[in-house]
Amino acid sequence: MTAVWAAVLATAAGCYGLKLAGLVVPPRLLERPLARRFAELVPVALLAALIAVQTLTSGQSLQADPARLAGMAAAVAALLARLPFLAVIVAAAGTAALIRGTGLA
Amino acid sequence: MANQAGPPAAQETPTEPPAAAPPAPATPVRDGIGLGLAVGVSGLAYGAFAVGSGLSVSQACALSLLAFTGASQFALAGTIAVGGSLAAGVVSAVLLGSRNTLYALRLAGTLAVRGPARLLAAMGVIDETTAMATAQPGRAASRTAFWATFGTLYLTWNLATLAGALGAGRFGSPQDLGLDVVGPAAFLALIWPRLRSGRAERAAGAGGALIALATAPFLPPGVPIILAAPAALAVAWATRGQAANDSTAAGGGAAPGRAAAAGDGAAR
């Protein structure tokens, strides 16, 4: 088994375990306001971190890839225009692909 | 928030039951189809992104079959895409799946499942099923909604993953297709309604992003993303008195966004 397979299975086991835990654990454990609040905010903080890293780094170095930045700018524009999810994705990927394809960056 | 929003506008965290009943879904069938389509689209994006990130088709599909929670799946693939350590990717993905524990706590009483049924139900505890189940007027209807939504989405998510994963290999390089921005763009669409909904959310997002960027040059890829979690804790601590108010505002404010509604497919 490769390392990637191990990571895939560990992720699956962890995610499933977390779901199951909520069904079997006494609800009191997460009733504290701070615990609730933390759990609410964790996805926002982690996803924002992922966005930043995937947009602005390459390996371990900070890097402003023009095509990638333009793609994300297109995503923001699509979100501001309240376009549906698919349109946001297509706008982002399409813009990045267009800029790379036309040799602008 | 999930309970307050209309069914397709699933949010990532459960909150207190709404004081006023949310508007009942006018057309459950239409909502169900909409949800299925949104999830299908997200599944295509995930499948293509996962393979573009370096996962094999079977690995991408295994994650959809066994983890069945989109944001975590995107996170693992994303960490691999940026060359991050696998352990860090797993931790990020599992941390991102922690909200499902809160959903499960909320649904436990409604579903009242034991034994093998509970093991099966656990797999289905995600944004969309929680939103659909908690939007129903009664317990029996909630149960029906949970199982129907779970069954439908499990099918569409996995078929779409397969299609996206296979499709990704048919075209040029992921970079040429702009697939490297699909992940971040999908994440942004997912947290967008939450960033708009409250200052605490924006603070947590900005804090997490800054921590990750500031530490990225010095730490193995993937680790900076985990370090964003303390930002959430700090903001949670700083805003602990306002939790109830913020949650209410967030649920109401997020519901109308179409991107929010569709984007939740990938939030799973």
Which residues on B lie below 8 Å from A39 (Cβ)?
13, 98-99, 101-102
Which pLDDT value is given to residue B257? Answer: 34
Q: What is the DSSP string of B39-88?
A: HHHHHHHHHHHHHHHT--HHHHHHHHHHT--HHHHHHHHHHHHTT--HHH
Residue A46 within any structural domain of the chain: no
Q: What mean pLDDT comes out for the span A45-55?
A: 89
Residue B23 within a domain? no
A104 lies in some domain: yes
Would you say residue B169 lies in a domain? Answer: yes
What pLDDT is stored for residue B12 in this prediction? 36
A11: chain B residues, CB-CB within 8 Å: 63, 67, 72-73, 76, 89-90, 93-94
Residue A15 has pLDDT above 90, yes or no: yes
- Inside any domain, residue B16: no
**In the 3-class helix/strand/coil scheme, how is B75-87 assigned residue by residue?**
HHHHHHHCCCCHH
Q: Report yes or no on B204 lying in a domain.
A: yes
Helix (H, G, I), strand (E, B) or coil at B220: coil
In this complex, the residue of A11, A12, A37 whose CB is nearest that of residue B239 is A37
Judged by DSSP in three states, A62 sits in: strand
Crossing angle of the two packed helices B99-111 and B115-123, in degrees rounded to 10? 140
Task: Tell me if B232 and A42 make a contact (CB, 8 A cut-off).
Answer: yes
Angle subtended at Cα B75 by Cα B69 and Cα B81, rounded to the nearest 5 degrees: 135
**Domain membership flag for residue A33:** no
Query: If residue A61 lies in a helix (H) or strand (E), which one and from where to where?
Result: strand A61-62
Nearest 5°: CA angle at B65, between B60 and B68? 95
Determine the distance in angstroms separating the CA of B250 from the nearest CA of chain A, rounded to an integer: 11
* Chain A neighbors of B191, CB-CB under 8 A: 43-44, 47-48, 51
Element (H, E) at A57: strand A57-58
Q: Round to whole Å and give the CA distance between B83 and A53.
A: 11
The answer to whether the beta carbons of residues B79 and B95 sit under 8 Å apart is no
Which tokens sit at B63? 């994650």
- Tally the domains of chain A: 1
**Residue B230 included in any domain:** yes
Domain holding A90, by residue range, is 64-105
Lowest mean pLDDT among A10-14, A45-49, B223-227, B261-265: B261-265
**pLDDT at residue B194 in the model:** 80
Q: Which range of residues forms the domain containing residue B132?
A: 28-267
Q: Between chains, do B259 and A52 touch, taking CB under 8 Å as contact?
A: no
Confirm whether A82 is domain-assigned.
yes
Residue B48 lies in a domain: yes
The rounded average pLDDT for each run of 10 residues, N- to C-terminus, in chain B (268 residues) is 35 39 47 66 86 94 95 90 88 85 83 91 89 79 87 91 86 71 82 86 95 90 82 89 47 34 37
In a domain, A54, yes or no: no
| Residue B78: closest CA among B89, B91, B63, B87 | B89
Residue type, B114: R
Q: Which residues of A7-44 are buried (b: 16+ CB within 10 A; e: fewer)?
A: bbbbbbebbbebbbbbbeeeeeebeeeeebbbbbbbbb
Residue corresponding to tokens 């099918």: B155
Give just the sign of the alpha carbon dihedral A54, B12, A89, B150. positive
Residue A31 lies inside a defined structural domain of this protein: no
Distance between CA atoms of B97 and A25, rounded to whole angstroms?
Answer: 16
State the nearest Cα–Cα gap between B10 and chain A, in angstroms. 13
Q: Which of A:40-59 have CB within 8 Å of B?
A: 40-59
How many domains in chain B? Answer: 1
CB distance A92–B185 less than 8 Å? yes
What DSSP string describes B132-170? HHHTSSSHHHHHHHHHHHHHHHHHHHHHHHHHHHHHHTT
Residue B14 within any structural domain of the chain: no
- Copy the structure tokens of residue B61: 């599909």
Neighboring chain B residues of A7 at a CB cutoff of 8 Å? 76, 80, 86-87, 89-90
Give the one of B15, B97, B228 whose C-beta lies nearest to A15's C-beta. Answer: B97
